[in-house]
Amino acid sequence: MRIVIASNNKHKINEIKEVLPARISLISLEDIGIKGDIPENEDSLEANALAKARYVYKLSGLNVFADDTGLEVKCLGNRPGVHSARYAGEGRNSDDNMNLLLKEMSKCPDRSARFRTIIALIFNKEEYIFEGIVNGKIAEQKSGSEGFGYDPLFIPDSYSLTFAEMSINKKNSISHRARAIRKLCTFLNKIEQ
């Protein structure tokens, strides 16, 4: 089975390839000649993921899925959420984003947060949504150098290390994205049997 992933992010594509069964071959946007950024201007993760999947489906007519992730911090009313990448500005700079987060949370006694990934799939013309969540808390300071984005600040529940202090394999076994991808795989496995 061939399926397009609506992303040109090689890190993300490789991470997803690792968890997909071998019989599903993942096609990148580059493979089908779609270059540049896909618009993501919606105000929720669900709407953004669906918009990206629909955009690629319209251009290619192929089965496709797209993902969108946000960090939702309880004491900030679930911000930065859908705006996580550009929280501190258009530069999408992770250090700036984390510094702003620590500043905004300086008076937050409750440091609960979660990463939420939404995957939107268009398969045989039908649309499906899968969600993956990992609950945790925001540390008082950054620790670790693995991973990307807000990893140095995020401590998943039941652990004392941040995502950035864990091996990539460990993070990928418990992450929001892995959980959403597993649901996608379960679905694809079922319908293709």
Measured from the CB atom, the residue of 130 and 163 that comes closer to ligand IMP is 163
Check if the beta carbon of residue 60 is closer than 8 Å to that of residue 53.
Answer: no
Name the closest residue to ligand IMP (Cβ).
149
DSSP lists the bridge partners of residue 129 as 120
Binding site residues, ligand IMP, CB under 6 A? 68-71, 84-85, 115, 147-151, 163, 175
Measured from the CB atom, the residue of 70 and 114 that comes closer to ligand IMP is 70
Work out how close the CB of 150 gets to ligand IMP at its nearest, in angstroms, rounded to a whole number: 4
Measured from the CB atom, the residue of 58 and 92 that comes closer to ligand IMP is 92
Q: Which of 31, 37, 68, 96 is catalytic?
A: 68
Is the bond into 152 cis (omega within 30 degrees of 0)?
no
Whole-angstrom distance, CA of residue 87 vs CA of residue 80: 6
Closest CA to 65 of 56, 75, 74, 78: 56
Whole-angstrom distance, CA of residue 87 vs CA of residue 89: 6
Measured from the CB atom, the residue of 60 and 172 that comes closer to ligand IMP is 172
What does DSSP assign to residue 84?
A: S
Please indicate whether residue 37 is annotated as part of the active site.
no
Work out how close the CB of 62 gets to ligand IMP at its nearest, in angstroms, rounded to a whole number: 21
Work out how close the CB of 23 gets to ligand IMP at its nearest, in angstroms, rounded to a whole number: 25
Work out how close the CB of 161 gets to ligand IMP at its nearest, in angstroms, rounded to a whole number: 14
Whole-angstrom distance, CA of residue 193 vs CA of residue 186: 11
The rounded radius of gyration (Å) of the Cα atoms in the chain is 17
Catalytically annotated residues: 68
